[in-house]
Structure 1
Amino acid sequence: MLTSARLDVANDLLGLLRDSGTEPRPDTQLEALTLAVAADLPVLLWGEPGIGKTAALGQLAEALDLPLTTVIASVHEPSDFSGLPVIGDDPAVQGVPMAPPDWAVRLVRAGRGLLFLDELSTAPPAVQAALLRVVLERRIGTLRLPPGVRIVAAANPRSSAADGWELSPPLANRFVHLQWVHDHDVVVRGLGGTWPRASLPRLDPALLPDAVAYARRAVCGFLAARPALVHQLPTSETRRGGPWPSPRSWEMALFLVAFATAAGTSREVLSLLVRATVGDGPGLELLAALDRMDLPDPETLLADPGNAVLPERGDLRQAVLDGVVEAVRKRPERSRWEAAWVVLVKAMETGAPDLVVVPAGDLAALRREDWDVPAAIDRLTGAISVSRRADREGVRAA
């Protein structure tokens, strides 16, 4: 057999090995990535070498039907991103235009695509500075990337990068930082020929105005209560190269909350995205504020306690019961006090009884001398001895 024929057979085998398919499969980090791409926010994937960041971008581009343009940031000069000066006929009159590189021209001609900036953490500071305009203003030289182009970057932690640098704070603050880790089951099934399928989120057109209003109310209300978190530059160099709160990153968080709301995204995906923009601490505080926004109004529960709908999560249910007791404390009336007991009974019958203990004790302490102990209290005696506590508090008040 001729050598060329043998190579043809080898190529056939390689083709079979590289042939793979996709399947719909829950993948939290892939869903977070596609949602951020849909929101047109620059994404930075952090992960150890060989974890599959580059392969994931190739699959994403194929699934979204976007031409993939890969640029290795570490092997380029600053002028490759800011543009190369080209001297014309009369520079004194016409100036010196900055010519963009060929890959930027191809993206503009196509009108759409996925720009993948790889090895970002090994790019020297001068190149990182040149990338600021590319990431924020989407300009390379005199060209402006069209709206159909999305930007995704990848980087290795400095400890595992070849001659790595920490990202500069201005560049880091322009990205949604997603930690990319491998999933054992996904890797095994992928090596078997089937990878998870990336797809853009389905946004409900009817929910768009409400999603925007909800996101603005959530982020603005949170920052009004926590003004110190509007801008908080980390003190350590390593943390400055990751997500941290600034007006720019809070705007990205607002966009992601709106997109996640319109798409009906899971809390786990939203948590990844919010923490990827403003950091873990501020992100978790915002998520807690979002949870409180969804809690039922205590006044609504007191007005119709028999039909009260309480959250399933224990921490949220506890917050609701505490809110009901606080509402009675602010406006103590016998009808409201009795309605609160009905809410507590329903909480005990539909959830963990121990969540009722503290609110029941606080509510019993609000009893006035002329208020009879309601029959609803007897239904709580299996969990706590509330009746005797209410009687003791009544005697003490008298």
Structure 2
Amino acid sequence: MDRYEQSCAALGVCLAANVPVVLWGPPGQGKTSVIQQLAADLDLHLETVIASIREPSDFAGLPVVDHASGSVALAPPRWARALASAERGVVFFDEMSTAPPAVQAAMLRVAVDRVVGDLPLPVATRVVAAANPPGVAADGWDLTPPLANRFCHLEWALPAATLRDGFAFGWPSVPVPAVHDLESFADAKRLVGVFLGSRPELVTRVPDSASEAGFAFPTPRSWEMAAKVYATATRAGVPGAVRTLLLSGCVGAPAAGEFLTYVASLDLPDPEELLADPDGLSIAGRRGDVVYAVAASVWAATDARLTSERWVACGRVLARIADGGHADIAYTTARRWVKARPANALPDVSSLRSLEPILRELGRFADLAPGL
């Protein structure tokens, strides 16, 4: 898979995950054409908006006075009304790097919230943009950091071999995986949260220079986008190089590299296996962040399919964690565990002994240990 194919696969993942994406490349690289073909292949309504020739009101809405009610509404432009009517569509912001800062500011709410003026666009509306690097753009501007932080950034260029084959046989379609898995997204968010708990300096790191801040950098918002594309890419089985492109496009290459290296080193046990055999959990020698990830994944699996048996097994896992010297982690998870107790479910005696200090602090020991 060459770099162009990797970029196509990454674009498809962004669309499947509904993460706004911007394609960066010199003029004439087929960015507009590939979006047009993509919309046709997926039967999506396409609205192309040339950002450089638009006014802020084309995104923020035009104030219209309602004299009868004495109120002012922000009327959306035609392209937004067409997308709202279509229900399944793509809005393509072309020439985004030639939009002045005032227009970029008006685009902020459109990019993430899908709201134009007072008109909410359908949730399924995908947001794609194309931009030329400021050095080759016509009267170009750096993207403002708030706008740049709302997009996954992908490089886009046509290699000679791709151009040759495209002219001879036609352009390949962008593969968009049919993945909609909320459980995988929740797992990915937990991984990101555990990672950032061990590397808090990477939660937010805005670059010092304005030019670098116009691309990907880590913030809580871009980490959430990273979790979405990571979950979608993993579930779709895309190659590791594509996942690296996606994570780098959301939070920048340094932060993405650290996260992927960290995930590869975790070696987490399957939570379903732990629920089936809680006593098989070994805590000795495990780092605190790994233990936290284990506790979070076991509780998530329990909560997703809650039964009395699974709830009791989760308590045994928490007891093992507390006995292993991580009572603080057991306490954090136990707060959710006790609130979700199925009717008449009680922990076994050994779990009660291990979790007694935690349950007493939570004020639930008497409820869960009647007669003791």
TM score, norm. by length of structure 2: 0.69
User: 3-state DSSP class of the match of 1:274?
Assistant: helix
User: 3-state DSSP class of the match of 2:72?
Assistant: coil
After TM superposition, give the deviation of residue 61 of structure 1 in Å: 1.0
Asked whether 1:94 is paired with 2:67, we answer no
- Number of residues of Structure 1 aligned to a counterpart in Structure 2: 270
Query: What residue identity is the alignment partner of 1:100?
Result: P
Contact 1:138/1:145, CA 8 A, preserved across alignment: yes
User: 3-state DSSP class of the match of 1:68?
Assistant: strand
Equivalence for 2:302: none
After TM superposition, give the deviation of residue 54 of structure 1 in Å: 0.8
Equivalence for 2:121: 145
Query: What residue identity is the alignment partner of 1:253?
Result: A
Asked whether 1:278 is paired with 2:251, we answer yes
Asked whether 1:69 is paired with 2:47, we answer yes
Q: Distance in 1 between matches of 2:174 and 2:70?
A: 47
Query: What residue identity is the alignment partner of 1:181?
Result: A
Equivalence for 2:102: 126
| 1:1-398 superposed matches below 5 A | 27-90=5-68, 93-203=69-179, 209=183, 211-294=184-267
Choose 38-47 or 78-87, whichever is displaced more. 78-87
Contact 2:89/2:126, CA 8 A, preserved across alignment: yes
**Which segments of 5 or more consecutive residues in structure 2 lack a partner in the other structure?**
271-283, 286-372
Q: Distance in 2 between matches of 1:70 and 1:178?
A: 19
Larger Rg computed on CA atoms:
1
Choose 63-72 or 226-235, whichever is displaced more. 63-72
User: 3-state DSSP class of the match of 1:153?
Assistant: strand
Q: Label 1:193 to 1:226 Cα distance change in 2 as closer, same or farther (>3 A).
A: same
Considering only aligned residues, what root-mean-square deviation do their CA atoms show, in Å?
Answer: 2.1
Q: Distance in 1 between matches of 2:250 and 2:185?
A: 18
Q: Distance in 2 between matches of 1:149 and 1:135?
A: 10
Q: Distance in 2 between matches of 1:126 and 1:59?
A: 31
TM score, norm. by length of structure 1: 0.65
After TM superposition, give the deviation of residue 100 of structure 1 in Å: 0.8
After TM superposition, give the deviation of residue 204 of structure 1 in Å: 8.3
Q: Percent identity?
A: 49
Contact 2:114/2:125, CA 8 A, preserved across alignment: no
Q: Label 1:149 to 1:202 Cα distance change in 2 as closer, same or farther (>3 A).
A: closer
Q: Distance in 1 between matches of 2:269 and 2:220?
A: 30
Q: Give CA-to-partner distance per residue, 1:5-51, whole Å, 9 cap, x none.
A: xxxxxxxxxxxxxxxxxxxxx92111100110111111011100111
Q: Distance in 1 between matches of 2:127 and 2:26?
A: 20
Contact 1:63/1:199, CA 8 A, preserved across alignment: no
After TM superposition, give the deviation of residue 296 of structure 1 in Å: 9.1
**Which segments of 5 or more consecutive residues in structure 1 lack a partner in the other structure?**
1-25, 298-325, 328-398
After TM superposition, give the deviation of residue 58 of structure 1 in Å: 1.1
Q: Give CA-to-partner distance per residue, 1:206-231, whole Å, 9 cap, x none.
A: xx63x335413321221111100000
After TM superposition, give the deviation of residue 295 of structure 1 in Å: 8.2
